[in-house]
Structure formats: structure tokens, C-alpha cells
């Protein structure tokens, strides 16, 4: 066997550790990594034209594949461009292995133009961070990074790879390292929670993380059914399984006013893989904490615990003979007439294909979506866990790479779309089965709402100008076609239905520019 350089040992180790895809936006300091890809065909390189596409795609991939992809980023500015979607991925607990090229070790002292403090920026992700120092260690560093990314509940692992460590000879592949799985929850803890749940007081059971998939939902439904506990899903789950044949568990509202109502009257709030609910933002004169004042908060399982097993154990204690309540199959009728906030979601609900993955960045336009799709065929919903917009198109891209046999539906607000719009090009290049529906209301509608909610007074034309996306109107059909994605425009429910049905049926990406009214 010929000697390996650092990059070759890195890629081989990644592949041996189960990492098969690298979303990449490389530069000069990553050229040896790029060159090494051809020697390891098991690693698939997917080019993004912007690092926010790369990191968002890695997030979407992780949410669906359940294992990490690698990213390839160019020094500190490349990491900066990818930071917002890494923030969302961090909140989703998505395992990701970032490979960030850096200047050669001996070159850093010269403060060349691209020199910056990569560690400071990467450190803000609160994940696992390591700078490779020696070519001989790169393989072992990579194996540890892959394991660190998958330590329960999943996190961002970042390897900073200096160019000379990458091109140096003497690389050694390393064996996979076993990640730390979820911690078991003590039987005593489960029993304590069981006593509370069965104690006759009003209980809210808030589930999150891994509990939002079938097994956790079934246990949750049994508990709620047997005890009367009010079951809720965290506001922004990384991956929520729902639809016909699965228990339907309501999500906690984004609006504090709504969430407070959902939790109203609870004497106990039980957390199962979810954080204690707080307001997304602070508002003058309103509470940050959404738990009712007199309620006690109890933790069944935190996000590093085996929340699914804990819920199943709890169900055995309080609901041994109770079956979950499953959502019946039901779809809205196809609507007609102009697109409205109600009619567009009915179209999606009526036509959502089997086994769909929804990347949901519909924001205010999607307020009515959950009800319209509740009884649609079983599907996954990926949501905006970290609140940093520009996540939908990249996450849809990565999800489609992870599940080429499933239809991916990206429900996408117009303003948010523009942060990472070049994801469309990657979708075209890779011929991914993504149908993007842009909800084009020509406004940052959520900010119009928030401007009122924060009680900001005296605003006039300039304030409105900064929340307005008309002048000029954005033509997403042209933008999509400019990146090789076939696109159409829908202004009526009939048009949306006809175009959506066709887009989903045809292989490859499509975009529908759906002109919807702004709710505000």
C-alpha cells in the first residue's frame, strides 16, 4: 500500500467510520482534500455554492440519515458563512463533522489575508473542536471527531486541518471509535414521574428530540390516554414523524400567548427530551418563562438521556394496557379560487405524497399547515430548530441526498429563501427530488407581527420599508430557472394543485412560486 498523505488518511477514516457524504465548498487550503476524494470512491462529494448551503445540507442529511455527513469549509470566513445553519444544526442536535482547512502551521505567523481566529468562531458552537497538529494523527483525530459528533444527543464536531498537515506524508487510517449512546434513565426517576402523572393533578408532558419519532410518540400517546396528561411536542422539533397511523401530538405554539394557553392550569410540567419552555424572544412586560407560575417542572429525560426508553418504561407503569390513539387517514378536499393562507395548506394536505419529508420554513404563511396535513400519509417534518432563517432550502437538499427514494417538500417563505437560494443549483446538479413551494407574500410578514408584539411605537414608512420585500417583487421562477431548476408560478389553488402534483411526480427538483397574501 502506498503511503497516505493527511487528507487521504482523513477521508479513508471518515468512510471507515460511516461518513459517506461530504458537502463541500473548498478553497486553496482544501485542495489536497479535494484531490484525495478520487482515491476513495466511497466518499461522495457534493458541491454547494455557498457555505450556508453546505452546513444546512449536512444538517438535513443528519436529521434523515441519523448519522453525520462531513462538510468541507475554507478557513474562518468559510466557517462564518456556514455558521447560521450550524447554529440551527446545534439546536437540532444533528451530528456533523466539519473539516475546516487552515493555513499551513508555519504560515499562520505571517497573518496572510485569510488568517482569522477559526477556533474562536468554532468554539461558539459549543460542540467538539480539535486542531490537527500532525499528519500521523489525522486519522485518529477524524475517528474521534465522528464519534464526538454522535455522542448522544448529537453535536457539531469540528476538525481544523492545516494545509501542511493535510498534504504531509505519513497519514494513518484509524479504526472507528464508538460514540457515547444515550444515558439510561434510572428506574427510580421513572417511578417518581409515574407517581406524579398518576397523581390526579393536571400534567403537561412535553416531549422533544428522539421522542418525536414513532416509538416515543406511541408511548406518549399511551401515557396521555391512560392518565389524562396533556401531551405536547416541543415548538421546533428537529424531526417530527406524523400523519395517518401515528399518534398526533400537538406542538407547543411559537407565540407565547398560545403556548401559555396550552400549558394553562398545569400543576406539573414533565420534560421528556425537551427543554423547559421559554418565550422565543422577550417582549416588554411579558414573561420569558412559559410554565405557569404554580407549576412544578420535572425532568424525565434530558436530551442526552434515552428518552424513548424512558417514555416506554413510564407507559408500562401508568398505561400498561392502553393502546396509543392513532391519527386516522384524512385529507382536505382540494380547494379552488385564489390562494389564501387556508387554501394553500389544503392543497398540500390533499396532495402530500407517501413518505414525504417536509422541510418547513413556511413561517407565518404556514400557521394553518399542521391541521391540513394531520391526516395525510405518514411523513417527517424538519423544523427551524435554531430560529436562524435560510435553513429550508439547504436542509431539503441534504435530506434528499440522505433519502433519494423519498419526495422532499420544501415549504419556504420568500424572505428566508433568499439567504441560501443557491441550494437550488445543488438540487439541480444532483438531480434531487425536492419540490420547493415558495410562499411569496412579498414581506418579512413575521417581523410585521413582531413589530407590533414588541410594542414598538411610532414607526412609519422607513420601518415598513425594512419589512417589505416588494419594490422590486422577487421572481422566484426566473431565479430558479437561472440555477437550472424548472419552475412555475401559482396564483390559484387549482394552479398550485396541478403544479404540485406534476412536480412531485417528475424526478428532480422543481420550484413553485406561490403568491400568497401576507397575514399582516
In the window 434-493, what residues touch a copy of itself (CB under 8 A)?
Answer: 446-447, 450-451, 453-463, 465-469, 471-479, 481-484
Number of residues that bind a copy of itself (CB under 8 A): 103
DSSP code, position 141: H
CB-nearer residue toward a copy of itself: 267 or 454: 454
> Does 507 sit near a copy of itself (CB under 8 A)?
no
Judge whether 511 and 480 are in contact, CB under 8 Å: yes
d(CA 13, CA 67): 15
> Does 28 sit near a copy of itself (CB under 8 A)?
yes
Residue of 113, 293, 337, 507 interacting with a copy of itself (CB under 8 A): 113
Q: Which stretch binds a copy of itself (CB under 8 A): 104-112, 224-232, 373-381, 494-502?
A: 104-112
CB of 38 to a copy of itself, least distance (A): 4
d(CA 265, CA 130): 47
Nearest to 357 by CA among 406, 412, 416: 406
CB of 258 to a copy of itself, least distance (A): 16
CB-nearer residue toward a copy of itself: 118 or 174: 118
Q: Are strands 268-272 and 357-361 parallel, antiparallel or unpaired?
A: unpaired
Residue of 375, 390, 394, 407 interacting with a copy of itself (CB under 8 A): 390
CB of 231 to a copy of itself, least distance (A): 21
Nearest to 404 by CA among 503, 474, 260, 507: 507
SS (H, E, C) 451-500: HHHCCCCCCCHHHHHCCECCCCCCCHHHHHHHCCCCEEEECEHHHHHHHH
> Does 134 sit near a copy of itself (CB under 8 A)?
no
d(CA 468, CA 141): 48
CB-nearer residue toward a copy of itself: 47 or 334: 47
CB of 170 to a copy of itself, least distance (A): 14
Q: Which stretch binds a copy of itself (CB under 8 A): 140-148, 305-313, 336-344, 420-428?
A: 420-428
Q: Which of residues 140-179 bind a copy of itself (CB under 8 A)?
A: 163-164, 167
Q: How distant, in Å, are the alpha carbons of 77, 104, 460 from that of 115? A: 9, 11, 43
Rounded to a whole number of angstroms, the distance between the first and last alpha carbons of the chain is 66
> Does 344 sit near a copy of itself (CB under 8 A)?
no
CB of 477 to a copy of itself, least distance (A): 7
Q: Which stretch binds a copy of itself (CB under 8 A): 112-120, 147-155, 349-357, 361-369?
A: 112-120
Starting at the earlier edge strand, list the strands of the sheet with 128-131: 44-47, 21-24, 70-74, 96-102, 156-162, 128-131
Q: Which of residues 270-329 bind a copy of itself (CB under 8 A)?
A: 275, 278-282, 284, 288-289
CB-nearer residue toward a copy of itself: 38 or 175: 38
Q: Which stretch binds a copy of itself (CB under 8 A): 45-53, 172-180, 209-217, 264-272?
A: 45-53
Q: How distant, in Å, are the alpha carbons of 56, 67, 497 from that of 345? A: 25, 31, 10
Q: Which stretch binds a copy of itself (CB under 8 A): 22-30, 317-325, 368-376, 490-498?
A: 22-30
CB-nearer residue toward a copy of itself: 84 or 161: 84
Q: Which of residues 221-240 bind a copy of itself (CB under 8 A)?
A: 236
d(CA 202, CA 199): 9
Nearest to 422 by CA among 73, 74, 25: 25
CB of 198 to a copy of itself, least distance (A): 30
Give the residue ranges of DSSP H helices in 124-179. Answer: 138-150, 163-167
Residue of 221, 262, 309, 388 interacting with a copy of itself (CB under 8 A): 388
Nearest to 436 by CA among 359, 356, 366, 363: 359
CB-nearer residue toward a copy of itself: 34 or 177: 34
Judge whether 489 and 436 are in contact, CB under 8 Å: no
Amino acid at each position: 500500500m502506498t503511503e497516505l498523505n493527511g487528507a487521504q488518511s482523513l477521508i479513508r477514516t471518515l468512510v471507515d467510520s460511516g461518513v459517506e457524504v461530504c458537502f463541500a465548498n473548498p478553497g486553496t487550503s482544501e485542495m489536497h482534500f479535494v484531490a484525495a476524494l478520487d482515491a476513495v470512491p466511497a466518499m461522495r462529494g457534493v458541491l454547494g455554492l455557498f457555505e450556508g448551503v453546505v452546513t444546512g445540507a449536512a444538517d438535513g442529511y443528519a436529521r434523515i440519515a441519523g448519522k453525520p455527513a462531513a462538510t468541507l469549509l475554507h478557513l474562518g470566513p468559510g466557517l462564518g458563512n456556514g455558521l447560521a445553519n450550524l447554529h440551527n444544526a446545534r439546536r437540532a442536535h444533528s451530528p456533523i463533522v466539519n473539516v475546516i482547512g487552515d493555513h499551513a502551521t508555519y504560515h499562520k505567523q505571517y497573518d496572510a489575508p485569510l488568517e482569522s481566529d477559526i477556533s474562536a468562531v468554532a468554539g461558539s458552537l459549543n460542540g467538539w473542536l480539535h486542531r490537527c497538529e500532525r499528519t500521523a494523527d489525522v486519522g485518529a483525530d477524524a475517528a474521534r471527531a465522528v464519534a464526538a459528533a454522535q455522542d448522544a444527543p448529537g453535536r457539531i464536531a469540528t476538525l481544523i486541518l492545516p494545509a501542511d498537515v493535510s498534504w504531509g506524508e505519513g497519514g494513518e487510517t484509524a479504526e472507528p471509535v464508538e460514540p457515547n449512546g444515550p444515558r439510561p434513565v434510572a428506574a427510580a426517576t421513572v417511578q417518581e414521574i409515574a407517581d406524579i402523572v398518576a397523581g390526579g393533578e393536571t400534567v403537561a408532558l412535553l416531549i422533544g428530540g428522539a421522542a418525536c419519532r414513532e416509538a416515543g410518540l406511541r408511548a406518549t400517546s399511551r401515557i396521555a390516554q391512560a392518565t389524562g396528561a396533556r401531551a405536547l411536542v416541543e415548538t421546533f422539533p428537529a424531526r417530527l414523524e406524523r400523519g395517518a397511523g401515528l399518534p398526533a401530538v400537538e406542538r407547543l405554539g411559537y407565540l407565547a400567548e398560545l403556548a401559555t394557553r396550552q400549558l394553562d392550569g398545569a400543576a406539573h410540567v414533565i420534560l421528556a427530551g425537551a427543554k423547559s419552555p421559554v418565550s422565543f424572544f422577550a417582549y416588554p412586560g411579558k414573561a420569558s418563562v412559559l410554565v405557569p407560575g404554580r407549576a412544578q417542572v420535572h425532568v424525565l429525560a434530558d436530551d442526552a438521556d434515552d428518552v424513548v426508553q424512558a417514555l416506554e418504561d413510564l407507559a408500562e407503569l401508568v398505561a400498561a394496557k392502553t393502546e396509543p390513539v392513532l391519527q386516522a387517514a384524512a385529507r382536505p378536499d382540494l380547494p379552488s379560487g385564489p390562494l389564501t393562507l387556508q387554501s394553500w395548506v389544503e392543497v398540500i394536505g390533499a396532495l402530500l405524497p407517501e413518505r414525504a419529508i417536509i422541510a418547513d420554513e413556511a413561517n407565518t404563511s404556514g400557521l394553518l399547515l399542521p391541521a391540513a396535513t394531520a391526516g395525510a400519509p405518514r411523513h417527517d417534518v424538519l423544523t427551524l430548530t435554531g430560529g436562524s432563517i435560510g435553513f429550508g432550502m439547504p436542509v431539503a437538499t441534504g435530506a434528499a441526498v440522505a433519502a433519494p427514494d423519498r419526495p422532499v417538500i420544501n415549504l419556504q417563505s420568500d424572505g428566508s429563501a433568499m439567504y441560501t437560494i443557491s441550494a437550488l443549483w445543488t438540487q439541480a446538479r444532483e438531480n434531487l427530488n425536492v419540490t420547493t413551494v415558495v410562499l411569496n407574500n412579498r414581506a418579512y410578514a413575521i417581523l410585521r407581527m413582531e413589530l407590533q408584539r414588541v410594542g414598538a411605537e411610532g414607526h412609519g414608512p422607513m420601518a415598513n420599508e425594512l419589512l417589505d420585500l416588494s419594490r422590486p417583487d422577487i421572481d422566484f421562477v426566473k431565479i430558479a430557472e437561472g440555477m437550472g431548476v424548472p419552475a412555475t408560478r401559482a396564483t390559484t389553488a387549482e394552479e398550485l394543485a396541478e403544479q404540485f402534483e406534476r412536480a412531485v411526480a417528475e424526478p428532480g427538483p422543481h420550484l413553485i412560486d406561490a403568491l400568497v397574501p401576507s397575514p399582516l
